[in-house]
Chains A and B, each alone.
Chain A
């Protein structure tokens, strides 16, 4: 199990109880986590955990020579993935009238989500915009668009297809990293404050 866990971490995987329950259970044992951490430390890495504890991943040591390069990659990823993910989570929570989808392990039923989106023209428009953000190809039906969006987030490790026949997806522990990114960006650009102040956000520069 040690070897499998280390290989997964080195491959950049985020280990959580949804997508890899065995590996997560192994790392949940403090002795095993220490063992893996000691191994990673020898190659200038460390075993990191999301702030809420649902995900493990390998990270650079802060003083490593690779740190800035790795950070650049992650910020690039933020630019590419986080915009569609923010829109998707917002759409999902509003369409299903439920905020619990930000919790790892939450189940998304594609058919129910499709039905909710189908019943609201505004949601349909948002889905179309989201599908174009994810991949600018014409997909024909809303069903195909939703399938493409869900597949995109499965590919990026935020969703896990737990039942292909019933099209049941589960939110993985990686969502906690996404929440950390959003918290960071909101704080860094003082976005929450800008909106709370009630000023039109696109006129800030003029003010």
Chain B
């Protein structure tokens, strides 16, 4: 069985037990039960799980770290890689490569070269991931931490960590490894690999380090600034309690206004649909169609089929309220129909005291409107004549009416 078959089998084992592994990762551990004991035994044999208590198992550290990186889960005070050990490893590999080259051991030369290449790749990846993690915690200002005291501790820790990573970057960019690789022409292939995989990333790392350090130091400064700020608030509170009549200064006396005083009070912006746009109209149509139709209110409309009409219903009397103007018009209409000559509306109203509450102007307007409409049966048989007053302001187009006369058409 080849190494590739082993790896494939191992991945198959992980895949077939993925639910158990996910549960162990998310809950920090998993309990052994009758259902899962066979699967847990297989995972334990493959060193995927390790026992914690008698029936409790945890994921092994390397797999847990891999899943942390995948899920971007942040653990408190994550220490990242041990870089000094890795730099020592690089030096050892360079030394081994030199010795193997001098001895002419071709197979060992190839093996050292591959290991060196992978070690650089791993180191570069770890530094990149470490800086990404540091940047994330710095930018979100330790959002997963609740208390300020803990934030302060974490800020100090990650600041020290960033400075340590920066030192490692400068070590790698300096002569620690490059100087070693420059010593012999035999190491040219390792030197090329080092330059390509690591030195090309150094500038980006330096820039990230500076950004992270700046954010963390600003945060640190704000922590240190807090005590002084709290003192100022207390002083101000004390002053205001001692001087209840104190009021802030007016802005009129200030030549230079502070920045905070320029903040606009603002007002919410409201959008109105542009009905001249066909797309807006269509969208509004869609909205209107989406509104469910309202249920009509059922009203009793007379007797339902098959039921007797109750006596109370038949005896019900309906009293209609007639407006005074309408009543006056009806009576004036009958008077006009009976009269031989045109009848003045104003004179008629003045003769009937019961309609004195109606204003003359309102009476004339109502009369003109009623005579033209079919408000009273037979109104169409009336001849209407308006007596117009001279227009005071002819250009306005208004018509002034002094009186209205009505008589029966011939």
Contacts and interface: CB of A to CB of B under 8 A. Distances in A.
Interface of A: 7, 9-14, 17, 28, 45, 48, 50-53, 57-60, 62, 66-68, 70-75, 77-79, 82-83, 86-87, 89-90, 93, 98-100, 102-103, 105-107, 177, 179-186, 188-189, 191-192, 194-195, 200-202
Given A12-B263, A78-B248, A201-B242, A195 B257 contact: no
A100 B260 contact: no
Given A12-B266, A60-B264, A202-B242, A68 B251 contact: yes
Interface stretch (B88-96, B226-234, B375-383): B226-234
B320 interface: no
Contacts of B269: 7, 10-11
* In the complex, the 9 A-B pairs of residues with the closest C-beta atoms, listed nearest first: A12-B266, A100-B148, A99-B230, A90-B237, A59-B262, A71-B251, A71-B261, A11-B266, A74-B261
B238 interface: yes
Contact of A201 (B218, B239, B268): B239
Given A10-B269, A12-B266, A177-B263, 20 more contacts: A12-B265, A17-B141, A50-B260, A52-B222, A68-B251, A71-B254, A71-B257, A74-B265, A77-B265, A78-B248, A82-B248, A86-B240, A90-B237, A98-B148, A99-B229, A184-B260, A186-B235, A194-B239, A201-B243, A202-B242
Tier of interface size on chain B = 35 or more
B256 to A, nearest CB: 8
18 contacts: A10-B267, A12-B267, A48-B259, A48-B263, A51-B259, A52-B225, A53-B218, A57-B264, A59-B262, A59-B264, A62-B257, A74-B261, A98-B148, A100-B147, A102-B233, A105-B141, A185-B248, A186-B235
Given A102-B229, A105-B141, A58 B222 contact: no
Interface in B191-238: 218, 222-223, 225-227, 229-230, 232-238
Contact of A70 (B143, B222, B237, B263): B263
Contacts of A11: 266-269
A70 B233 contact: no
A108 B218 CA distance: 23
A66 B268 CA distance: 18
A182 B231 CA distance: 11
Contacts of A191: 235-236, 239
A184 B256 CA distance: 12
Contact of A90 (B139, B234, B264): B234
A86 B243 contact: no
A75 B263 contact: no
B266 A72 contact: no
The dominant DSSP class at the B interface is helix
A12 B264 contact: yes
The dominant DSSP class at the A interface is helix
Contacts of B243: 201-202
Contact of B260 (A10, A98, A181): A181
Contacts of A74: 251, 260-263, 265
Nearest to A50: B260
Contacts of A28: 139
Contacts of B263: 12, 14, 48, 57-59, 70, 74, 177
B248 A107 contact: no
Interface in B262-296: 262-269
A74 B266 CA distance: 11
Interface of B: 139, 141, 143, 146-149, 218, 222-223, 225-227, 229-230, 232-240, 242-243, 246-251, 254, 257-269
Contacts of B264: 10, 12, 45, 57-60, 66, 70
Contacts of A177: 260, 263
B211 to A, nearest CB: 12
Contacts of B232: 179, 182-183, 186, 192
A179 B222 CA distance: 12
Given A58-B266, A195-B235, A99 B226 contact: yes
A26 to B, nearest CB: 13
A79 B261 CA distance: 13
A87 B237 CA distance: 6
B229 A179 contact: yes
Contacts of B139: 28
A155 to B, nearest CB: 15
Contacts of A202: 242-243
Contacts of B247: 79
A201 B172 CA distance: 62
Contacts of B261: 70-71, 74-75
A90 B262 contact: no
